[in-house]
Structure 1
């Protein structure tokens, strides 16, 4: 019984090995999963706070800029990186996902993102009123 089960498994494996497309996909998947499971490509996230805003920096070696997606829902910013096997495929392997709650001083309408030197930079500018001094008139009521 055990020998028959082993033979069936071997037969299935041999059929899969003959399918080159399957081998290419599984090889890439194993490479990605190996990276996620302790390889050298670990995501690095850093938040730089500056006078006029902040920058969220995400670096994942060997991940293309097309793999990143950014969503903003009210003050919740989500950054996702996923690998797609083929351009027309719906098969995705999540590589990174992190959600950030943005503080009220961030001007949500001016957030932008740039991919530069193997790094995604999401720039979070503060409202101009946060860093500008202005005079406030005093109203006198009788």
Structure 2
């Protein structure tokens, strides 16, 4: 077949927006699997009553994130599944956080908002309350 024929087919595919949307995500995953880098934005904001871990990965849905807590080690990860029926899962991101003792592990929660995962780490309420200690004699 002449080269012109293949160029015409490529141009039709490039003009097809649905095709481009489907292939763009797969190219990104293949780039990551082939040694490319998916760079998430990770920030830890510390406040008086707790801290917030913020993770933003472009075009990653909330369903792709997983959070695991093992004693005082928090793991935040994101994976990609090629399609809903596929069992093949590819890691996109994983990071461990060692939590300080003032974090109340029973009150940790997470919310996904504005394309960002926020893991809220509240401190124990006793950390910021002054208490007088009675002296016994």
Instruction: Work out the CA distance in 2 between the residues paired with 1:118 and 1:128.
Output: 30
TM-score scaled by structure 2? Answer: 0.76
Asked if residue 72 in structure 1 is aligned to residue 93 in structure 2, the reply is no
Residue in structure 1 matched with residue 108 of structure 2 by the alignment:
111
Larger Rg: 1
Residue 95 of structure 1: CA displacement? 0.6
Instruction: Work out the CA distance in 2 between the residues paired with 1:86 and 1:50.
Output: 39
Instruction: Work out the CA distance in 2 between the residues paired with 1:71 and 1:92.
Output: 17
Residue 42 of structure 1: CA displacement? 2.2
Residue in structure 2 matched with residue 61 of structure 1 by the alignment:
58
Residue in structure 2 matched with residue 18 of structure 1 by the alignment:
none
Residue 27 of structure 1: CA displacement? 6.8
Task: Select which of 98, 107, 128 maps to 1:131.
Answer: 128
Please provide the CA RMSD for this pair. Answer: 2.0
Residue in structure 2 matched with residue 37 of structure 1 by the alignment:
36
SS in 2 for 1:103: coil
Residue in structure 2 matched with residue 95 of structure 1 by the alignment:
92
Instruction: Work out the CA distance in 2 between the residues paired with 1:58 and 1:134.
Output: 36
Instruction: Work out the CA distance in 1 between the residues paired with 2:75 and 2:106.
Output: 16
SS in 2 for 1:29: helix
- The runs of 5 or more residues in structure 1 that have no matched partner are 1-24
What per-residue deviation string (whole Å, max 9, x for no partner) do you get for residues 62-89 of structure 1?
0000000000000010001001122232
Task: Select which of 33, 49, 61 maps to 2:46.
Answer: 49
TM-score scaled by structure 1? Answer: 0.73
Residue 28 of structure 1: CA displacement? 4.3
- The runs of 5 or more residues in structure 2 that have no matched partner are 1-21
